[in-house]
Amino acid sequence: MTPAAMTSQRRRPVQRRSQEMVDRILEAAARVLGREGYAAMSTNRVAAEADVSIGSLYRYFNDKAEIVEHLRARVNQEVLAELTEAIFASLDDDARHGVERVLVTLVDALERHRGILVALIDEVPLGSQANTLPEIERQLTEFTRLFVHRHAPGMPRDELDARLYLAMGMTLNACLRIALERPEGLDRGRLLELVTEMLVSGLDG
């Protein structure tokens, strides 16, 4: 490999064609996972669904875990995009409305990825990373930290950290429940109001 080639590769580590392949494979994986479950998601099955050879699949992913990881990252990223947008849109809202707007958006986004999320959470052995959506949680934490700073600026660092740690886990958990496994009888809107309320008052102290 010439130095030139290496340089140009460093600049665009992912070629246009490669990206196409990667996408095809990931989309196929998402389809299989959502539709047929993790048990059916063999690498060969995914390659067939992507209409790509199994050899090519292994050209773009080192192993199966990497595919699942990319899938997870992708959901994270897509939900994250919507979340971030909602956060910006809510910057001028008062606490309650801002939080609710963000949570509604989050639940909407999660619902839109229900298929993969259910499979990822229920069927995929995660290998020691309890949390399927850590980036979401991080982002949600940052946003909330900002809100608290603005609305209750006096809280000591340690105290805030502890409150955020708990509140974020709980909120994300609540949103997942509302999005993915809400029982028949319970009203989505009311549940979201309640989460909002708990979150706001839980952070106010």
Site residues (CB under 7 A) for DNA? 5, 8-9, 11, 15, 17-18, 20-21, 39-45, 52-56, 58-59, 63-64
Give the separation between CA 197 and CA 205, rounded to whole angstroms. Answer: 12
Cite the beta strand spans of 14-117 per DSSP E. none
Give the separation between CA 68 and CA 7, rounded to whole angstroms. Answer: 30
Q: Which whole-number Å values give the CA distances from 159 to 47, 60, 72, 148, 203, in the listed order?
A: 49, 45, 31, 12, 10
Task: Give yes or no for residue 186 binding a copy of itself (CB under 8 A).
Answer: yes
Give the separation between CA 93 and CA 30, rounded to whole angstroms. Answer: 36
- Nearest-approach distance from CB 6 to DNA, in angstroms: 10
Q: Tell me the residue length of the chain.
A: 205
Residue 173 interacts, among DNA, a copy of itself, none and using kind-specific CB cut-offs from 5 to 8 Å, with a copy of itself
Q: How many residues make contact with a copy of itself (CB under 8 A)?
A: 45
| Range in contact with a copy of itself (rule: CB under 8 A) among 71-79, 88-96, 104-112, 177-185 | 177-185
Residue 95 interacts, among DNA, a copy of itself, none and using kind-specific CB cut-offs from 5 to 8 Å, with none
Residue whose structure tokens are 């502890």: 162
- Cα-Cα-Cα-Cα dihedral sign, residues 76, 79, 84, 87: negative
- 54 vs 121 by CB, closer to DNA: 54
- 89 vs 152 by CB, closer to a copy of itself: 152
Task: Give yes or no for residue 17 binding a copy of itself (CB under 8 A).
Answer: no
- 13 vs 183 by CB, closer to a copy of itself: 183
DSSP 157: H
Give the separation between CA 119 and CA 55, rounded to whole angstroms. Answer: 26
Binding site for a copy of itself (CB under 8 A): 8, 37-39, 48, 118, 121-130, 158-159, 161-163, 165-167, 169-171, 173-174, 177-178, 180-181, 183, 185-187, 190-191, 194-195, 197-198, 201-202
